[in-house]
Structure 1
Amino acid sequence: MGEHDTPGAAGHSEADVSPQTNAPTADAAPAEQTHAEQAHGVSRRGLFGLLGAGAAGLAVGGAGGAAAAAAIAGGGASGGGSEASVYDFYGTHQAGITTPVQDRLHFAAFDVSDMLDRDGLKGLLADWTAAAARLTQGLEVEEGGAVGGSDYAPPVDTGEALGLHASGLTITFGFGPTLFTTADGTDRFGLAARRPPLLEPLPRFQGDALVPQLTGGDLAIQACADDPQVAVHAIRNLSRIAFGRATLRWSQLGFGRTSSTSTAQATPRNLFGFKDGTANLKVEQHDLVDEQVWVGASDEPAWLAGGSYLVTRRIRMIIENWDRVQLGEQEMLVGRSKGSGAPLSGGGEFTEPDFEAEGPTGAPLIDVNAHVRLAHPTMNGGTRMLRRGYNFVDGNDELGRLDAGLFFIAYQRSPQQFIDVQRSLASDGLNEYLKHVGSAIFAVPGGVKKGEFVGQALFA
């Protein structure tokens, strides 16, 4: 969908864009999918991503926007890049934020063991950093890996990614509110005084039906890649490294990105069949990304400078009900043409909606409760977010309905940006077909320098 065009929800980067790829630079102009892209086949591992998405419940600082375009030039219709794409883990910002959105996701939230102390937490983050720096380069977790170690000890790498390319893998880490102070007020790691003032649990929103087992978490890891097996391998091995120190609280597999973070990427479709993320922030919009995504040097706390705030929402779509809605009503609810993605006020996909335009009867062409209108920056004080969400299908529920929807992911300079847009969407006509069942917020530290570990400034 458009604006933030996200059902029920609402730069520069980092390591974010240092792709090592031979792909030619892509045209920076927004483009529709080509016929060849639409005909792109589904690989063995692509099929795995569709069938295996049942795990729920368990910058351009360095290289610039041209590199972002180059990273995806060799990819298919829905992918963020080619199998050979490689992004540096180290950089000004963490990779996986403004990086061109890859096609597959494995997101995981962890609870840290109450037996762990401050030094133990630092050790875990250091181990995760070392492993992530290797995995994102297409290497095994450690030298020796899956088959090069002792026959009498478990391998140090699980091995399912042997022979696979890096596939544009990015690994992004975040810290939840409960890492600083537990729900009962306990300061387990001496970090309470270092907690970002804006890092509070999200307020309750209209229509929330949150499941505790799909909500919250002390630590978060977002693994994105163009091969689902590569993303799953990353989370599996980082979970294994955390054994005895942190346990998996919940995780989510995603496929078919529902946004674009580069103008070189075609606009994808969500499970309602509409183009999603037409007006999403793009890596090439440097000033807007600086203003809306990155925590500034003058913001508090200083240790979070160069970072961002991550909001995730697991949004179940009531697919069976939606599929019985007439096309005209679907388009009215969204405010865009289902085919072209153009606003109902006229023009093409990237034409700015005209909310003053009226039809023959004097009624607005874009309904007052249309998603596009309520989510648009002009209706929210200029607020924008950088989204990189994914579709999910987690089988069927006990009534035989698809457990499917949108795993919403947004990065913003302040959580208030998401809160404001989400509240604006209270009257969104799409809410009849949506159910928010999972939610979390995390502070995402800035990029990592070689020789340091992620979030090291937090402990200074």
Structure 2
Amino acid sequence: MSEQHPATGAEDTSAPVGASPDAAVEPVDAAPRRGMSRRAVLGTVGAAAGVAAVGAGGFAAGRATADPLQRHAYDFFGTHQSGIVTPQQDRLHFAAFDLTTDSRARVISLLRKWTEAAATLMTGSELGSGAAGGAYAAPPDDTGEALGLPASGLTITFGFGPGLFDDRFGLADRRPAQLIDLPKFSGDTLDERYVGGDLCIQACADDPQVAVHAIRNLSRIAFGDAAIRWTQLGFGRTSSTTRAQDTPRNFMGFKDGTANLRAEDVDLVDEHVWASADDGEEWMAGGSYLVARRIRILAENWDRTSLQQQESDVGRTKGSGAPLSGGSEFTEPDFTVTGRDGEPLIRPDSHVALAHPSANGGARMLRRGYNFTDGADDLGRLDAGLFFLAYVRDPATQFVPIQNALSSHDVMTIEYLRTTGSALFAIPPGVPAGATLGSDGGAFVGEALFA
């Protein structure tokens, strides 16, 4: 929930060249559609859906037409994978996988299948012959729960965990130095159910069913080669990746990610997010590193804390999001301003002060976090918080020092937050536009690693 974790941004390569990074766009050079388009279905059954919506309290109509962005699709192809500097969607389904095969060839085959399927799903189409086609005596190619729904701005992002680089696949000498084993930070109460993974998939969309559909079908494709280790559903983004987006609020009621740098800050993204061949592993050039942290908020404790104490711990006003040193939300905090008692208006141990780039050697991150709630624990306390996602060029110099400072000195982190899940993944570059996809010899995400 760091004030820092400021995003960096770049021109969104999931959009066509020349398009604004702020806008969702129709796909260019998209993979040929196989099966029935979900958007085509909307036109075909429009009248019937309208009648059904009346009987269902307007749910169907609202689901399909509430947000014009839901009808748009992002391009799967590009220098970088989509879902990083893409305008952040409102819903998330994240999954970490363990590889269950020891065969390098089968891992490559899985990545080819996943790549082809992701390119299809992002256009708003069903997989293969769809949920109602193909051999009648065999399972359908698509599970079908997204039939009739638009593309909803779906992005699918793939990552590689440290386990991919063990002795099974002959990749140990190609593990990037940046793909470290994250340390256990002070205050971490990690639950092994939310730790690690050989592979990961981040599916973001403006409709939760579309995001869940993507993970469900990609998981089904992986059967026999990989199994889900853990998953997390997220809603209500807790950061903004473009300046066209308002600053959202987290479950503590504060605006989150005010200092997050946006996709328009191309130079900063190049500096802080995108890996370079000069970083040590040429196959990662154009990729990034994803830190995933499941952070539970001790809501019952926080909700009994006075507004004055909450604002003092955070370093910002709860209403406007302005720093306590004065100004508006986007005014740069001034840590030298003091009150009548001579003490700084922004406490040195506040979240804002400890997470600010000036306290961390200028380190910045591109955040794409989400709120989550998983019901209640055995004591009836709310199990909810922030699913923190941040893209960085080097976790050891950008994430670890900041987290060490927060976990050791930040009153808000120490008193009200508990990190229960943690993982780090290398996010390889995207698949170039014009590449041929297919399960037999087609291009795939991470292909340069296996070359």
Bin of the TM-score, shorter chain as denominator length: 0.7 to 0.9
Shift of 1:15: 3.6
Distance change (3 Å), C-alpha of 1:2 and 1:196: closer
Q: Which runs of 4+ in 1 moved over 6 A?
A: none
Name the CA distance, whole Å, in 2 between partners of 1:80 and 1:380: 39
Counterpart check, 1:315 vs 2:300: no
Moved more, 81-90 or 124-133: 81-90
One-letter code of the match for 1:107?
A: F
Q: What SS class does the counterpart of residue 247 from structure 2 fall into?
A: coil
Tell whether the 8 Å contact from 2:69 to 2:153 is kept in structure 1 after alignment.
yes
Q: CA RMSD in A?
A: 1.8
One-letter code of the match for 1:161?
A: A
Name the CA distance, whole Å, in 2 between partners of 1:448 and 1:420: 32
One-letter code of the match for 2:10?
A: H
Could you tell me which residue of structure 2 aligns to residue 176 of structure 1? 161
Could you tell me which residue of structure 1 aligns to residue 373 of structure 2? 393
Counterpart check, 1:134 vs 2:120: yes
Tell whether the 8 Å contact from 2:157 to 2:201 is kept in structure 1 after alignment.
yes
Which of residues 244, 254, 260 in structure 2 aligns to 1:274? 254
Name the CA distance, whole Å, in 2 between partners of 1:5 and 1:130: 32
Tell whether the 8 Å contact from 2:5 to 2:365 is kept in structure 1 after alignment.
no
Name the CA distance, whole Å, in 1 between partners of 2:182 and 2:353: 23
Could you tell me which residue of structure 1 aligns to residue 3 of structure 2? 3
Name the CA distance, whole Å, in 2 between partners of 1:192 and 1:212: 24
Q: What SS class does the counterpart of residue 236 from structure 1 fall into?
A: helix
1:42-121 pair list within 5 angstroms:
62-63=17-18, 66-69=20-23, 82-113=69-100, 115-121=101-107
Tell whether the 8 Å contact from 2:79 to 2:430 is kept in structure 1 after alignment.
yes
Q: Which has the larger radius of gyration?
A: 2
Tell whether the 8 Å contact from 2:5 to 2:366 is kept in structure 1 after alignment.
no
Q: Deviations over 1:198-245 (max 9, x none)?
A: 212101111011111210000000000000000000000000000011
Could you tell me which residue of structure 2 aligns to residue 17 of structure 1? 15
One-letter code of the match for 1:338?
A: K
Could you tell me which residue of structure 1 aligns to residue 403 of structure 2? 422
Name the CA distance, whole Å, in 1 between partners of 2:23 and 2:400: 31
Distance change (3 Å), C-alpha of 1:161 and 1:99: same
1:399-438 pair list within 5 angstroms:
399-416=379-396, 417-425=398-406, 426-431=408-413, 432-438=415-421
Q: Deviations over 1:9-61 (max 9, x none)?
A: xx22554334xxxxxxxxxxxxxxxxxxxxxxxxxxxxxxxxxxxxxxxxxxx
Shift of 1:412: 0.4
Distance change (3 Å), C-alpha of 1:326 and 1:379: same
Counterpart check, 1:207 vs 2:187: yes
Q: What SS class does the counterpart of residue 443 from structure 1 fall into?
A: strand
Name the CA distance, whole Å, in 2 between partners of 1:353 and 1:101: 25
Name the CA distance, whole Å, in 2 between partners of 1:254 and 1:330: 24
Shift of 1:300: 1.2
Moved more, 207-216 or 234-243: 207-216
Name the CA distance, whole Å, in 1 between partners of 2:2 and 2:189: 25
TM-score under structure 1 normalisation?
0.84
Which of residues 139, 155, 162 in structure 1 aligns to 2:140? 155
Counterpart check, 1:227 vs 2:207: yes
Tell whether the 8 Å contact from 2:295 to 2:385 is kept in structure 1 after alignment.
yes
Counterpart check, 1:457 vs 2:443: no
Could you tell me which residue of structure 2 aligns to residue 49 of structure 1? none
User: Structure 1, unaligned stretches of length 5 or more?
Assistant: 19-61, 182-186
Shift of 1:80: 9.8
Name the CA distance, whole Å, in 1 between partners of 2:307 and 2:127: 49
1:279-290 pair list within 5 angstroms:
279-290=259-270
Tell whether the 8 Å contact from 2:73 to 2:152 is kept in structure 1 after alignment.
yes
One-letter code of the match for 1:155?
A: P
Name the CA distance, whole Å, in 2 between partners of 1:333 and 1:383: 22
TM-score under structure 2 normalisation?
0.86
Name the CA distance, whole Å, in 2 between partners of 1:131 and 1:141: 7
Could you tell me which residue of structure 1 aligns to residue 39 of structure 2? none
Name the CA distance, whole Å, in 2 between partners of 1:433 and 1:197: 33
Distance change (3 Å), C-alpha of 1:2 and 1:422: closer
Q: Deviations over 1:247-268 (max 9, x none)?
A: 0000000000000000000000
Name the CA distance, whole Å, in 2 between partners of 1:246 and 1:224: 21
One-letter code of the match for 2:109?
A: G
One-letter code of the match for 2:22?
A: A
Shift of 1:81: 7.2
Name the CA distance, whole Å, in 2 between partners of 1:291 and 1:343: 26
Name the CA distance, whole Å, in 2 between partners of 1:81 and 1:365: 43
Shift of 1:5: 6.6
Shift of 1:68: 2.1
Distance change (3 Å), C-alpha of 1:448 and 1:13: farther
Q: Deviations over 1:288-331 (max 9, x none)?
A: 00000000132210000000000000000000110000000000
Shift of 1:423: 1.1
Moved more, 448-457 or 327-336: 448-457
Q: What SS class does the counterpart of residue 68 from structure 1 fall into?
A: coil
Q: What SS class does the counterpart of residue 232 from structure 2 fall into?
A: strand
One-letter code of the match for 2:429?
A: G
Tell whether the 8 Å contact from 2:194 to 2:420 is kept in structure 1 after alignment.
yes
User: Structure 2, unaligned stretches of length 5 or more?
Assistant: 27-62, 437-442
Q: Deviations over 1:48-93 (max 9, x none)?
A: xxxxxxxxxxxxxx445x2424669xxx9xx997111211111010
